[in-house]
Amino acid sequence: MSLSSSNPARLGPPERVEVRYEDVPILSKCGFREEALTFLRKRVAHHFPAARIQFSELEKGRPLAEQTSDGPGTDWVIQVSLLNPLLDLELLQAMMRIAIGHGTPVVAVGAVPGTAPVLAGTRAGIRRDGSVPKECHWDTQRKHNSQLNLARLKRVKIFKSLCREFPNLHQLSVAEVLAFCASPAGVQLVIKYGEDVALQSYSRCPLCGSDRSFALHCDVNQPVGGFLTRDSEYYYLCQDCHLVYLNPSMAEEDLWRYYDTHAYEQAYSREELRALYSNLNVLTVSHYANYEAILPELRRLPPNARVLDLGGGMGEFCVFVKNGFPSYDVNLVDFRIHTEAVKELGDRGIHCINKNFTREAFEPESCDLITNWEVIEHLKPERLELYFRMVARALRPSGYYCFSTPDFGNSFSHSLDFWATAPGEHLTVLSRRVLEPILGRCGLRVVQEYHECVTMKAKGRWFAYGSQANSSLASRADAVIIENLLTDDALRESYQSLMRRRQLGSELILCLQKIGGGESP
């Protein structure tokens, strides 16, 4: 129930509605612009069957008031974004009641992201000089904690899948859509990611076989893929071994589907790659700080050290190593390496190996350093032990295995529900407590632990998003407080140093050596 609906002004059905939409480049880029617009037209027409509705694009950079012509007071102007086709028409009605009552335009606060109009008002209200918009408080985000805007290609793919599942989607209320997303069928649709595949379910913990697991819920922030709600159940915590695992999940042979073009927001040209490689830092590479954390281990390697970065994507870590240690033999290994990257990395003396590194073994005792940056959480939990055995076999006696992964054992991962960022791709959420016994069985011992924090590394990112999209008034305010801290460079850097000293941060970075084979750190 909206806070504003307790004293509604009288509002008859609108006769004329002008919808001014903001175009967004991402939808044109993925070829979904016209479909989003058609969906929005059908949705508005369904809810205002008696009205004359006109759609037109908003001119960028010019205030709405200047773009609005004069007209009778019953004429409505509604500004929307094409990113938000699942417009909440009940919210719009509430905004219109306030607009009539106060004679001002109205904006929404507290709605599920992706469902609110940007602004609604009468022609006269929007054109009135100096009118400050009234706020319409709405509490759907507190109830559902979801994200329905199409600002990411993955969400476009899931939205298309919902359109196929429900041909009458444009007629459904936001509450009806989210009730489906909270159901097991809804969770399956999102985890399937729009693909026609069967999912696998675990009846027991895939690591220890315990039947004592319970579902974890996101109460504050949302997975980046959107559409799941606070009631959706997809990550489970094992009471016995403490593994957090995705359930249901795709079969191993289907996992590649997550990494199609929707997973990569950018198709790099050779020039763009060159620009990226010559400007590697914490702002251009999401886990750059993790690379810097293991500099002590990198410095300990022999002059001709053989380095393998497994699952290294575009090769940022390889470039980082080659820049700092030109004599090292640096190799990027991944399933499918970007063709332009192979050329550009080749020019920098880095070798690229296309290979299923989770299955195909490497030559025994051939490597001085093997790295996995944000890779192991993408592996099926039942494969982890076999995989670590392969890594251990490939290491020379004094070689290092270093990896990073989101750390469920650290409070900084719980903040903003960061641990649940990527259900689907992330099949597990790990911690040293879960990993150390498995690694030990594979002959690997932890010689160093570091922490870095993705959410605290820069302003204008995770907490800025949280200040808009978190579920409650309090959690949005908490995000504002932390975002303010992050805007002061000196304060942020000082706090980051404190976090490193105290082993705090969303990312767990472990460095391991073979038991009995390495030097003491």
Contacts with Zn ion, residue ranges (CB under 5 A)? 205, 207-208, 210, 238, 240-241, 243
| Nearer CB in complex with Zn ion: 368/377 | 377
Cβ contacts of 269 within 8 Å, gap of 6 or more:
340
Encoding tokens for residue 8?
Answer: 């509604």
Could you tell me the smallest distance in angstroms from the CB atom of residue 430 to Zn ion?
12
| Nearer CB in complex with Zn ion: 116/238 | 238
CA 294/CA 502 separation, integer angstroms: 17
- Give start and end residues of each alpha helix (H) in 152-222: 153-165, 174-182, 184-192
Angle at 299 between CA 297 and CA 302, to 5 degrees: 100
**Which secondary-structure segment (H or E) carries 31?**
none
Could you tell me the smallest distance in angstroms from the CB atom of residue 262 to Zn ion?
32
| Nearer CB in complex with Zn ion: 106/207 | 207
Could you tell me the smallest distance in angstroms from the CB atom of residue 242 to Zn ion?
7
Could you tell me the smallest distance in angstroms from the CB atom of residue 184 to Zn ion?
22
| Nearer CB in complex with Zn ion: 29/433 | 433
| CA pseudo-torsion sign 109, 114, 116, 120 | positive
Could you tell me the smallest distance in angstroms from the CB atom of residue 249 to Zn ion?
15
| Nearer CB in complex with Zn ion: 386/474 | 386
| Nearer CB in complex with Zn ion: 82/434 | 434
Could you tell me the smallest distance in angstroms from the CB atom of residue 223 to Zn ion?
23
3-state secondary structure of 89: helix
| Nearer CB in complex with Zn ion: 184/209 | 209
By the 10 Å C-beta count (0-12 exposed, 13-18 middle, 19+ buried), 201 is classed as exposed
| Nearer CB in complex with Zn ion: 21/245 | 245
Could you tell me the smallest distance in angstroms from the CB atom of residue 437 to Zn ion?
11
- Whether residue 260 contacts residue 287, with contact meaning beta carbons closer than 8 Å, is answered with no
Could you tell me the smallest distance in angstroms from the CB atom of residue 434 to Zn ion?
8
3-state secondary structure of 37: helix
- Whether residue 400 contacts residue 511, with contact meaning beta carbons closer than 8 Å, is answered with yes
Could you tell me the smallest distance in angstroms from the CB atom of residue 190 to Zn ion?
24
- What is the phi/psi pair of residue 332, to 5°? -95, 125
Q: At what angle do helices 384-394 and 432-441 cross, to 10 degrees?
A: 60
Could you tell me the smallest distance in angstroms from the CB atom of residue 84 to Zn ion?
40
Q: At what angle do helices 473-486 and 489-501 cross, to 10 degrees?
A: 100
| Nearer CB in complex with Zn ion: 207/504 | 207
Output the DSSP codes for 404-441: EEEBTTSHHHHGGGGGGS-BTTB-EEB-HHHHHHHHHH
| Nearer CB in complex with Zn ion: 205/285 | 205
- Whether residue 8 contacts residue 95, with contact meaning beta carbons closer than 8 Å, is answered with no
Could you tell me the smallest distance in angstroms from the CB atom of residue 211 to Zn ion?
9
CA 56/CA 35 separation, integer angstroms: 15
- What is the phi/psi pair of residue 109, to 5°? -130, 130
Could you tell me the smallest distance in angstroms from the CB atom of residue 343 to Zn ion?
45
| Nearer CB in complex with Zn ion: 164/433 | 433
- Whether residue 248 contacts residue 191, with contact meaning beta carbons closer than 8 Å, is answered with yes
Cβ contacts of 285 within 8 Å, gap of 6 or more:
291, 316
CA 358/CA 387 separation, integer angstroms: 6
| Nearer CB in complex with Zn ion: 347/382 | 382
